[in-house]
Amino acid sequence: MNILSQNTAFGGMQGVFSHQSQATGTEMTFAVFVPPQAITEKRPVLWYLSGLTCSHANVMEKGEYRRLAAELGLIVVCPDTSPRGNDVPDELTNWKMGKGAGMYLNATEKPWAEHFQMYSYITEELPDLIAEQFRADMDRQGIFGHSMGGHGAMTIALKNPQRFKSCSAFAPIVNPLTADWTQDAFEKYLGADRTKWREYDACALVEDGARFPEFLIDQGKADSFLETGLAPWKFEEAVKGTDISLTLRMHERYDHSYYFISTFMDDHLKWHAARLG
């Protein structure tokens, strides 16, 4: 693991690191905030997955999570959103595909399958590295994210309920099978057989029997992607009649930006801290 930067913040440490990934076959960059309590004891781990076009840096620079994470004693891990590098395939004129748009899935189609193994990277390889390099309590993990990252957080939680104790999302893509900004990418990554898409779709996973105790979703009503890309009411409908508890909060005047995310970041950190102990 290479140290790219380390800075003291609120008594803790905000670091940016890189390592050679076996899953993606590329060098991957990620950020970790370590609270001051981790100097002497293992602390819970909270994963934040970013959205389309983002990297580890967006939430690190604009998410405003460090003050409360330090107070609550949460380690916050912010991975990149895709593999990167000169050998990684991309669509330069399509921001919904390729670099910055890994969709947190394992691609099966060429040329994407060689490097776009983000599900394995997030759920297997990077957790092993975090457990090895940081004073992290891997028995207390939560996950949240924004937009594409909200999609990733929810699907990963639904598929790994034994690992994660909490999950929340800002403006998540809850139904990629129908969302206008994911269908093209899913077909290119996973092929034309839409039944294979279902394991990366929160609504479909619930319909197919996956369960997670509870979710918190915050959504801005002024979000320009609300109707065609996000539609959180579809997940609300999917969990009806199940034992899944959903807190869906719709906010007047808020859009899809980090102004929205930073406004409700404290609520999400407290939500996770209460469930992680």
Contacts of 30 (CB under 8 A, 6+ apart): 16, 17, 18, 56, 77, 78, 79, 80, 126
**Catalytic member of 82, 147, 166, 168:** 147
Measured CA to CA, the distance from residue 98 to residue 187 in angstroms comes to 13
**Catalytic member of 146, 151, 256, 268:** 256
Q: Are 9 and 60 in contact (CB under 8 A)?
A: no
| SS percent in the chain: helix, strand, coil, step 5 | 35, 25, 40
Measured CA to CA, the distance from residue 266 to residue 140 in angstroms comes to 19
Measured CA to CA, the distance from residue 169 to residue 58 in angstroms comes to 16
147 is catalytic: yes
Residue that has been written with the tokens 């899809």 in this structure: 256
Other CB atoms within a 10 A radius of the CB of residue 147 amount to: 25
168 is catalytic: no
**Catalytic member of 218, 223, 268, 272:** 223
Q: Are 63 and 16 in contact (CB under 8 A)?
A: no
Q: Are 277 and 140 in contact (CB under 8 A)?
A: yes
256 is catalytic: yes
Please give the positions annotated as active site. 147, 223, 256
